[in-house]
């Protein structure tokens, strides 16, 4: 693979962080490949989104040099700064964190997808912001995943809509110009077996695609549970710490 020309190191100067990221990325890609093969999905493996939150833009640049095309962020200010600094790389930025409606205008300026749409008010704010943004730039529609809560307490710390609220949210997103309803997203409950949660998500996905056949995306699976997610049909994996290492302390 050829290196992207834009790494900061002058030619010939070793970059230990690049080598570390290369090894960890390769290990995660191998895990995904094995899980996909075991699930009979070798021909349609999931999309890897590397979650770069709390890590510097320079690491995102290194990942791009290693062939990463999709990155995930969970805070608007950090994401918008990194996306601006790395605009030349043509990465796809995925917003995966809880999002306040008043940040929609900012997020649609850089995000290819939002994985955390969990309420009608946010869906409306994103649609409104996309109408303005598409007028201004002609950008492609925003992919929106409906985040569902799989531990039964909507508003719990992991976020997400109640499963019963998915149809109304889906109808609103599907009816919004500038938005493409992409599918469902979830974070497995902390400290519990992820399998029942991912099974429930697969069920919700089947119900959603019965009405919206194009919305077949399933965003699930992180460092700890990507194998289970692949087995249960995840189309998008959001992997952070197993590639980038522990997140630096909050600034």
Ligand X SMILES: *Cc1c(COP(=O)(O)O)cnc(C)c1O
As a whole number of angstroms, the distance between CA 141 and CA 112 comes to 8
Cβ proximity to ligand X: between 7 and 98 the closer is: 98
Least spacing, CB of residue 97 vs ligand X, in Å: 6
Among 96, 107, 169, 188, binds ligand X (CB under 6 A): 96
Q: Which among 74, 79, 55, 170 has a CA at the least distance from the CA of 115? A: 74
- Piece of 35-43, 128-136, 206-214, 240-248 that binds ligand X (CB under 6 A): 240-248
CB-wise, 9 or 26, nearer to ligand X?
26
Nearer to ligand X, 172 or 219 (CB): 219
Mode of pairing for the β-strands spanning 47-51 and 70-73: parallel
Q: Which residues pair with 184 in a beta bridge?
A: 146, 218
Question: According to CB under 6 A, which one of 163, 194, 217, 240 is a site residue for ligand X?
Answer: 240
Min dist. Cβ of residue 117 to ligand X (A): 13
Task: Give residues 32-51 in contact with ligand X (rule: CB under 6 A).
Answer: 51
Q: Which of residues 128-187 bind ligand X (CB under 6 A)?
A: 187
Concatenating the DSSP letter of every residue in 114-136 gives EEEE-SHHHHHHHHHHHHHHHHH
Rounded CA-CA distance 218/234 in Å is 5
Using alpha carbons, select from 57, 77, 81 the residue that is nearest to residue 6: 57
CB of 96 to ligand X, least distance (A): 4
Residues 182-221 contacting ligand X, CB under 6 A:
187
Identify which of residues 101 and 223 has a Cβ nearer to ligand X in the complex.
223
Q: What is the closest distance, in whole angstroms, from the C-beta atom of residue 85 to ligand X in the complex?
A: 20
Out of 52, 74, 149, 205, the residue judged to bind ligand X by CB under 6 A = 74
Q: What is the DSSP string of 191-211?
A: TS-HHHHHHHHHHHHHHHHHH
Q: Is 233 left (phi over 0), alpha (psi -120 to 50) or beta?
A: left
CA-based angle 81:85:88, to the nearest 5? 135
Contact track, ligand X, 220-239, x by CB under 6 A: --xxx-------------xx
Q: Which residues bind ligand X (CB under 6 A)?
A: 51, 53, 74, 96-97, 187, 222-224, 238-242
């Amino acid at each position: 693979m050829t290196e992207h020309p834009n790494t900061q190191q002058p030619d010939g100067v070793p970059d230990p962080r690049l080598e570390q990221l290369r090894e960890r990325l390769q290990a995660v890609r191998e895990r995904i490949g094995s899980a996909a093969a075991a699930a009979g999905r070798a021909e349609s493996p999931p999309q890897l989104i590397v979650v770069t939150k709390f890590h510097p833009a320079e690491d995102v640049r290194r990942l791009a040099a290693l062939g990463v095309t999709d990155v995930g962020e969970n805070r608007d200010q950090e994401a918008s700064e990194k996306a601006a600094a790395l605009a030349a790389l043509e990465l796809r930025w995925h917003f995966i964190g809880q999002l306040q409606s008043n940040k929609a205008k900012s997020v649609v300026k850089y995000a290819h997808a939002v994985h955390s749409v969990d309420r009608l008010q946010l869906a409306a704010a994103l649609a409104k912001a996309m109408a303005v943004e598409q007028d201004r730039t002609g950008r492609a529609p925003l992919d929106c995943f409906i985040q569902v809560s799989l531990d039964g307490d909507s508003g719990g710390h992991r976020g997400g809509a109640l499963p019963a609220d998915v149809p109304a949210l889906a109808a609103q997103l599907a009816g919004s110009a500038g938005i493409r309803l992409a599918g469902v997203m979830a974070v497995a409950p902390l400290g519990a077996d992820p399998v029942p949660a991912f099974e429930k998500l697969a069920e919700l996905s089947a119900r959603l695609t019965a009405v919206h056949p194009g919305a077949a995306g399933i965003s699930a699976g992180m460092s700890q549970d990507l194998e289970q997610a692949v087995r249960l049909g995840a189309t998008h994996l959001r992997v952070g710490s197993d590639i980038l290492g522990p997140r630096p302390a909050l600034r």
